[in-house]
Structure 1
Amino acid sequence: MWFAEAMADRIDTFSHDNLTFDVLDTGPLDGEVIVLLHGFPERASSWAQVSTLLNEQGYRTIAPDQRGYSPGARPRRRRDYTIDKLVGDVVALIETIGRPVHLVGHDWGSNVAWFVTMQNPDLVIDLTAFSVAHPAAFLRSLLGPQALHSWYMGFFQLPFVPELALSGQWAPTRYWMSRGGLGRDELARVREEIVDYGALTGGLNWYRALPFADRRSFGRRVQVPTTMVWSDKDLFLGRDAPAKTAEYVDAPYDLIVLPGVTHWIQTQAPESAAAAILERVSG
């Protein structure tokens, strides 16, 4: 792909599909660019500790608040959150940056990163995926125990009820989120940065758009060097999908297992997260 001149100034926002996205851009302007994609229920700020560690090593980190999270990018229809649109947003960001990037994702951000990499290998130098496996590996794992880990995806299809449940008022939901690894301070951050910020329905719409996904694209293979990072205390992703992911990568591949860490790797184990990214991007 032909690129315009790489951006020499900070990127605070970018536009795509008549939407405007907020961006956290830190580190040396002339450093190699690492794009960090957040998951649910988080925003770009979830990468703050990891970004600092990467910036100290000379890398520039760019983390967007994605579709449904940025106030200027909250379309109402769930069809506006299909994977092709989420991928298009990230492609627009990379084109704004003006050069291929090291791509990193966590949770839903990993899912988007997988698809960006499969469909646009010319935009991605390498991929580091946290807590979500290759889409085809994940689908295969749903035939086994992973279905029990992913029950909430069905619950999130309901209208209104998930918003009520995740607003922080229901004790069973607080227990489920705490059991999933979120501490009291992190639950307060979800309340402030997602619920009070008006981003909860937008984040849930990523799940509500799943019935409209074109599954024919899920089996594409990855052609760039890739690292999959999985933590063995992850309540939402079992061991099977990460174990199968190597079958879909036609490039150097590493699986890193973090013992004793929950799903929320980048906030609870930022040093390990940064080390995994640095090992991949420096390689």
Structure 2
Amino acid sequence: MRIEVRGLTFEATEGGPPGGPVVILLHGFPANRHGWDDVTPFLNAAGFRTYAIDQRGYSPGARPLGVDAYRAEECVLDAVAFVDALAGGRADIVGHDFGALVSWQLAAAHPERVRSLTAVSVPHPAAFGQALLTDPDQQQRSSYIDLFRTVGKAEHVLSRDGGAGLRKMLAGVGARIDVYAEPLLEPGALTATLNWYRALVIEDLVKVGPVARPTTYVWGERDIAVGTAAAFAAGDHVTGDYRFLALPGVDHWVTEAQPDVLAQAILARIGSAS
């Protein structure tokens, strides 16, 4: 389906019974909405209506030019518009990677739109930002961001040889590599999606306020992008009911590695918010 909000057209996959409680799922880089394909059947079977959405830059009809179009506040306002258009103003929110950053900020700034939050891999922005500023381990884990912020070089490194760099990044997702990589090799797509990194202001992450909504944070203990300092600090920025689920042996790609476990965590969180 397509969702038209804020003058843009977003691609989405819907599922579950019409009229069921709405769950909105937001992906990260360099994935897309299909990252939720193994998770949503569990939610649909439980009676929930799901919308997995290709965010700005990923949807061809929502690919504005310029770095400023990908600032966090713009991405969060997209999420507000999704909730209003698809759920009548309130929904259960699930986000992975950059989608988690958007989801945390949505819950912090617009709590009335969020019934419950399940964030996957990336912790609360303030916990992540503080670790980026002070923790050597997290700084090393996030050193790839410097490349992604370099205009031209990042596009070349990731897209050369038919997208070999992208595919190397996606080695942990199994058979879904091409599903994620091929759309980003279309003209303009890679620059648009990398603009999320170029618009990122670390100091602004630290300023994101606490989340008062019922929240679950799911993190793979083998995640090479997010270390323990950031992950363990996420709960310090939640004032609502909070659960932290650490998955032994799981890397950054939680949605592919343990979709059933993740789905049960989402359902448990939604149930506790009822």
Is TM-score (shorter-chain normalized) higher than 0.5?
Answer: yes
> Does residue 199 of structure 1 match 2:157?
no
> Does residue 30 of structure 1 match 2:19?
yes
Aligned-pair CA distance for 1:273? 1.2
Rounded to whole Å, the distance in 2 between the matches of 1:118 and 1:242 is: 18
Identity of paired residues, percent? Answer: 38
Counterpart selection for 1:71 from 60, 68, 77: 60
**2:129 equivalent in structure 1:** 139
Structure-2 change in CA distance of 1:217 and 1:147 (3 Å) = closer
1:63-111 Cα deviation digits (max 9, x unpaired): 1111001111101101100001000111011111213100000000000
**1:6 equivalent in structure 2:** none
> Does residue 165 of structure 1 match 2:157?
yes
Structure 1 unaligned runs (5+)?
Answer: 1-11
Task: Report the residue type matching 1:228 in the other structure.
Answer: Y
**1:156 equivalent in structure 2:** 148
Larger displacement relative to structure 2 (197-206 or 113-122): 197-206
Rounded to whole Å, the distance in 2 between the matches of 1:202 and 1:22 is: 15
1:30-67 Cα deviation digits (max 9, x unpaired): 21111000110111111011011110111110111110
Rounded to whole Å, the distance in 2 between the matches of 1:17 and 1:217 is: 27
**1:8 equivalent in structure 2:** none
Q: 3-state DSSP class of the match of 2:83?
A: helix
Structure-2 change in CA distance of 1:238 and 1:202 (3 Å) = same
> Does residue 277 of structure 1 match 2:266?
yes
**1:267 equivalent in structure 2:** 256
Rounded to whole Å, the distance in 2 between the matches of 1:88 and 1:152 is: 27
Larger displacement relative to structure 2 (151-160 or 161-170): 161-170
Counterpart selection for 2:79 from 90, 102, 115: 90
How many equivalent residue pairs? 269
Aligned-pair CA distance for 1:26? 0.7
Rounded to whole Å, the distance in 1 between the matches of 2:148 and 2:205 is: 23
Q: 3-state DSSP class of the match of 1:181?
A: helix
**1:61 equivalent in structure 2:** 50
**2:198 equivalent in structure 1:** 208
Structure-2 change in CA distance of 1:30 and 1:170 (3 Å) = closer
Rounded to whole Å, the distance in 2 between the matches of 1:268 and 1:146 is: 23
**1:223 equivalent in structure 2:** 212
**Do 2:101 and 2:123's aligned partners in 1 also have CA atoms closer than 8 Å?**
yes
Counterpart selection for 2:242 from 246, 253, 258: 253
The structure in which a higher percent of residues are helix is: 2
Rounded to whole Å, the distance in 2 between the matches of 1:28 and 1:199 is: 32
Aligned-pair CA distance for 1:214? 7.1
Rounded to whole Å, the distance in 1 between the matches of 2:163 and 2:10 is: 33
1:165-196 Cα deviation digits (max 9, x unpaired): 11262898468526x6344x333333223224
TM-score by length of 1: 0.89
Structure-2 change in CA distance of 1:264 and 1:167 (3 Å) = same
Counterpart selection for 1:112 from 102, 109, 113: 102
Task: Report the residue type matching 1:114 in the other structure.
Answer: W
Rounded to whole Å, the distance in 2 between the matches of 1:172 and 1:73 is: 26
**Do 1:15 and 1:92's aligned partners in 2 also have CA atoms closer than 8 Å?**
no
> Does residue 181 of structure 1 match 2:191?
no
Structure-2 change in CA distance of 1:195 and 1:171 (3 Å) = closer
**Do 1:53 and 1:274's aligned partners in 2 also have CA atoms closer than 8 Å?**
yes
